[in-house]
Amino acid sequence: MPRLTAGGPHYYTLRPDSTVGGEVYERMLLERLPGHGIDLELGLPRDHAVDEPPPGWRITVLRHRLGLHWVRAPLVFCPYVLRLLRAGRVDLLRGHSVRHTGPALLLGRALARSRVPVVLHHHHLYPRWARLEAAIARRADAVVTVSEHSRRELVAAGVPADRVHVVREGIATPPATVGWPDAWPGPGLRLLHLGRLEPRKRPDLAIEALRRCEIPASLVIAGEGPQAELAGLASGLPVRFVGRVSEADKWRLYDSADVLLFGSTLEGFGLVVAEAQSRGVPVVAAAGTATAEALDDGRSGLLAAPTAEAFAAAVQDVAGRRAEMAAAARAFARRFDWDACAAGVADVYRSLVP
């Protein structure tokens, strides 16, 4: 089977210690694609944080830094895309973000009068930009997304169903750690919220659920973002904010947690839900999102309405069945495999190249 080369620009780094879901997805996928016959041309920012590129990677350092706004991205990315196409360096253009890279890929292809296919990777539609993102996705030759939920959203927004491919994410589980039990500020059930401190991730829901718990419990909130308002909400409760954690400390938290609280109402998949289960940590997650595909409701965790009362009740239910749910969580998480993800993506790429 001949090797193919896929290429495209990145608006963020590939930090090896990043715990941001989209960055983890890209790092794990890109590391494995060469093993499935897909070499990579990557246009990365100056602070790309890749010390030694894996075999099969060719990196071009672009002039932008982390935080490039998507409106300005085509000005930086389009010249790079034109160079790739005019030099014949790629068989396929890939974009890791519909909004940040899609316009540059489509414009560059049009300017080069090329027929090289464009594939966009998608996690979820942002409500504010849903119409724009759907319009960009409709012009791609294929869209790879991570859940049936996200596929349905795209199709409902007008993206042709035969162009949307679901390839499930994976988990990379390191060896068991010594844990981090002293991260929790109080006795009882150890609750964990892990994610950026932004409204859609609902860290406030974890705090309010703790307030309503009728059993002893304390909460660790891990993630970067503004803490002042949340700290005020948590006043008087056994809550500890640990900020952004490294990849190693993330797994230490999983290895000491009893229940993961995942109140996010806007997700393409919910990577931390799958990761926590791989360590035997049952999950209470918000119902009605793609996260329903990342757990086995009633066995490895519970889906609950995104209200404090519903989450508190679910936590107390999980507490009474934690041993059996922990075993079910480990078993369920075995289906999430990064190598299988890379193989699925490689199959999509190959289907588009004559």
Render pLDDT for 150-167 as a digit per residue (tens, 0 to 9): 999 999 999 999 999 999
Q: What percent of the chain has pLDDT over 90?
A: 86
In the block, tokens 């369920």 appear at: 332
Handedness of CA 83, 87, 89, 95 (dihedral sign): positive
Render pLDDT for 280-308 as a digit per residue (tens, 0 to 9): 999 999 999 999 999 999 999 999 999 99
Query: Is the pLDDT at 110 greater than 90, yes or no?
Result: yes
Determine the average pLDDT of the residues in 267-281: 94
- CB atoms near residue 248 (< 10 Å): 11
Query: Is the pLDDT at 170 greater than 90, yes or no?
Result: yes
Domains (range + CATH), the chain: 4-170+337-352 (3.40.50.2000), 181-333 (3.40.50.2000)
Reported confidence tier of residue 77, pLDDT bands at 50, 70, 90: very high
Reported confidence tier of residue 31, pLDDT bands at 50, 70, 90: very high
Are the beta carbons of 340 and 281 closer than 8 angstroms? no
pLDDT of residue 11: 86
The residue that leads in pLDDT, 352 or 49, is 352
Please give the structure tokens belonging to residue 353.
């190249």
331 SS3 class: helix
Nearest to 19, CA basis, from 214, 331, 248, 317: 248
Are the beta carbons of 291 and 270 closer than 8 angstroms? yes
Reported confidence tier of residue 259, pLDDT bands at 50, 70, 90: very high
Query: Is the pLDDT at 19 greater than 80, yes or no?
Result: no
Q: How many angstroms separate the CA atoms of 8 and 10, rounded?
A: 7
Write the single-letter amino acid at 263: G
Determine the average pLDDT of the residues in 34-49: 94
Nearest to 100, CA basis, from 154, 63, 137: 137
pLDDT of residue 44: 94
Sequence-ordered strand ranges (E) for the chain: 4-9, 38-44, 57-61, 92-95, 118-122, 142-145, 164-166, 189-194, 217-222, 239-243, 259-262, 283-286, 301-304
Query: Is the pLDDT at 60 greater than 80, yes or no?
Result: yes
Are the beta carbons of 144 and 119 closer than 8 angstroms? yes
Counting runs of H as helices and runs of E as strands, what totals does the chain give? 12, 13
Lowest mean pLDDT among 124-133, 212-221, 273-282: 124-133
